[in-house]
Amino acid sequence: MQNIVILISGRGSNFEAILRTSREENWESQCGARIAAVISNRPQAAGLQIARDAGVEAIAMDHKAYESREAFDAALAEVIRRYDPAVIVLAGFMRILTEGFVKEFEGKILNIHPALLPLFPGLDTHQRCLDAGCRVHGSTVHFVSPVLDGGSIIGQAVVPVLPTDDADALASRGLVYEHQLYPKCVRAVAEGRVKLVDGRTVMDDDTARSLTIFGV
Ligand code: GRF
């Protein structure tokens, strides 16, 4: 069985979408993959309760209990290793991971970023997109590399930017498609249809089409 471990910090709507899809599509029998655990660095994260309610192992690891970023990441890696995961999914995980952690799990860690990378890495992506006057915005799933929001791209969902949008409206429009995109990307990596080879994402044309979403 391919174990999937999901890291969150907050509401966990992407985790919930992945969980729902994994059950609807019966990933355990269809692709031999299951969500083995959800780990949050914030004990109060709403996503942990979603996991408990769904019978998924939910682990709180408060980063404030560790004296340094390195100490937290070492403890996190130790917990994650127990699951020998094929895929580690960052879903609203608001911590920058150390290079050592990223290197250990390189090619297995995915992140979703609310912008069309390489545009707008970092925070406040929706407002920055509006300020720049873009006509399109969206979200990107990518492999995690030591460069923040800089790893090789797996899939993207594009949405229009409307004249009446504020940052919240734009974020809500994008989130709907994140919930379609991320489960597809996680499944494709778990099935080995998407791989990181020499720092570049490799997949066939059909997979690439399925991981490109045009929203309205
Ligand atoms: C999403 O917008 C994602 O793009 C960003 O953080 C948010 C997480 O939301 N990385 P949720 O916790 O999955 O609801």
38: left (phi over 0), alpha (psi -120 to 50) or beta: beta
pLDDT in tens, 161-202: 999 999 999 999 999 999 999 999 999 999 999 999 999 999
* Residues assigned a catalytic role: 113
Specify the pLDDT at position 25: 98
**pLDDT > 70: percent of the chain:** 100
Q: Kindly report whether the global pTM for this prediction surpasses the value 0.95.
A: yes
With 0-12 / 13-18 / 19 or more C-beta atoms within 10 angstroms meaning exposed / middle / buried, residue 95 is middle
Which atom of ligand 1 lies nearest, measured to the CA of 111?
A: 10
201 DSSP β-pair partners: 196
Specify the pLDDT at position 90: 98
Cα–Cα separations (whole angstroms), residue 92 to 46, 101, 170, 178, 204: 12, 18, 17, 11, 28
Q: pLDDT tier at 126 (50, 70, 90 boundaries)?
A: very high
Specify the pLDDT at position 91: 98
Considering the chain, what is the average pLDDT of its residues? 98
Are the C-beta atoms of 175 and 159 separated by less than 8 Å? no
CB 12 near ligand 1, within 6 Å:
yes
Do you know the residue count of the chain? 216
Cα–Cα distance measured from residue 43 to residue 58, given in angstroms and rounded to the nearest whole number: 10
CB 89 near ligand 1, within 6 Å:
no
CB 145 near ligand 1, within 6 Å:
no
Which atom of ligand 1 lies nearest, measured to the CA of 174?
A: 2
Ligand 1 center to 9 CA (angstroms): 9
**pLDDT > 90: percent of the chain:** 100
The arithmetic mean of pLDDT across residues 75-85, rounded, is 98
Specify the pLDDT at position 215: 98
